Amino acid sequence: DSGVTQTPKHLITATGQRVTLRCSPRSGDLSVYWYQQSLDQGLQFLIQYYNGEERAKGNILERFSAQQFPDLHSELNLSSLELGDSALYFCASSARSISNYGYTFGSGTRLTVV
Amino acid sequence: SQQGEEDPQALSIQEGENATMNCSYKTSINNLQWYRQNSGRGLVHLILIRSNEREKHSGRLRVTLDTSKKSSSLLITASRAADTASYFCATDDAAGNKLTFGGGTRVLVKP
């Protein structure tokens, strides 16, 4: 157990639907990062939050949104789902500076869009 | 876009042999990190090397960094079947806000 909790572990949904992925960071970590991993695109950075505020944004689609709540857990919302959104979605957390410590990853949510 | 590119993409070795994989990157970094991912699982942080360091060891892992060539290598000595996994290098951005991962090297250690 890495200390980063992601739910659900698996999700199967139809095209056009909306889903919410949840992440609880490791105790004491203020930063949460979301990544998408697919076979053709590799690990793609989506978005980062630090203590409730958006800090950095990657190639996140407009159909996707995220937020970090006061208790530091984060949710990634994916809407108008397409077949190509099928992927592993990882959440990671870090202490204040990733330059010193790196990330702690959760076990991921496998999303299948049918 | 990927900052780091690993080479080779895949590697197959016998247990007890050494495994070496390389990573090249494009822009200046504060540090470079290596992660391991077992099939379909979350990534696990292995080792971090700062831009002012040239070599670092952790157990059976040895990492080198050459900032003049913008490259790093990860050596796993005396490999074990349990080392079978994908290995990724990652570099931080100038602000230290996020890591950018390479495409990974798939390592298969045969017993």
What DSSP assignment string belongs to A12-64? EE-TT--EEEEEEPPTT--EEEEEEEETTTEEEEEEEEETTEEEEE-S--TTE
Residues A69-91 have pLDDT tens digits of 999 999 999 999 999 999 999 99
A98 interface with B at CB cutoff 8 Å: yes
Distance CA A63, CA A18 (A): 9
Residues of B whose CB is below 8 A from A98: 92, 96-99
Q: What average pLDDT does this structure show over B64-85?
A: 97
Residues linked to residue B37 through DSSP beta bridges, in sequence order: B43, B86
pLDDT for position A98: 62
Residues linked to residue A24 through DSSP beta bridges, in sequence order: A5
B93 interface with A at CB cutoff 8 Å: yes
pLDDT for position B1: 44
Burial environment of residue B28 by CB neighbours within 10 A (0 to 12, 13 to 18, 19 or more): exposed
Q: What average pLDDT does this structure show over A11-15?
A: 98
Q: List the 45-74 stretch of B: residues with Cβ below 8 A of A.
A: 45, 48, 50
Mutant choice from B97, B100, B106 vs A, greatest count of A C-beta within 10 A: B97
Rounding to the nearest 10 degrees, give the CA dihedral for residues B51, B56, B61, B66: 40
Q: pLDDT-based confidence at A30, cuts 50/70/90?
A: very high
Angle at B75 between CA B16 and CA B71, to 5 degrees: 160
Q: What average pLDDT does this structure show over B59-68?
A: 97
Any idea what the CATH number is for the domain that residue B52 is in? 2.60.40.10
Q: Do B41 and A107 touch (CB under 8 A)?
A: yes
- DSSP letter at B80 equals -
State the count of interchain CB pairs (< 8 A) between A and B.
66
Residues of A whose CB is below 8 A from B98: 33, 45, 48, 56, 58, 98
Residue B28: give the domain boundaries. 5-110
Choose between B34 and A95: higher pLDDT.
B34
Q: Do B40 and A43 touch (CB under 8 A)?
A: no
Instruction: Provide the phi-psi class of A55: left if phi over 0, else alpha when psi is between -120 and 50, else beta.
Output: alpha
Helix (H/G/I), strand (E/B), else coil: A73: coil
Mutant choice from A37, A98, A111, A112 vs B, greatest count of B C-beta within 10 A: A98
pLDDT for position A99: 64
Question: Is residue B101 over pLDDT 60?
Answer: yes
Mean pLDDT lowest for which of A56-65, B68-77, B96-105?
B96-105
Nearest to B101 by CA among A6, A94, A106, A37: A37
Q: What's the structural domain count of chain B?
A: 1
Both structure tokens of A67 = 């937020």
Nearest to B89 by CA among B45, B40, B30: B45
Q: What average pLDDT does this structure show over B65-71?
A: 96
| CB within 8 Å of A11: residues ≥ 6 apart | A19, A21, A109, A110, A111, A112
Q: Do B30 and A105 touch (CB under 8 A)?
A: no
pLDDT for position B68: 95
Q: pLDDT-based confidence at B69, cuts 50/70/90?
A: very high
- Average pLDDT score, chain B: 92
* Distance of residue A37 Cα from the nearest chain B Cα, in angstroms: 10
Residues B9-60 have pLDDT tens digits of 999 999 999 999 999 999 888 899 999 999 889 999 999 999 999 999 999 9
Residues of B whose CB is below 8 A from A108: 40-42
pLDDT for position A68: 97
Both structure tokens of B101 = 């991962």
Residues A38-47 have pLDDT tens digits of 987 889 999 9
Both structure tokens of A112 = 């299948």
Distances (CA, A) of A48 to A8, A35, A40, A61, B74: 20, 9, 22, 14, 27
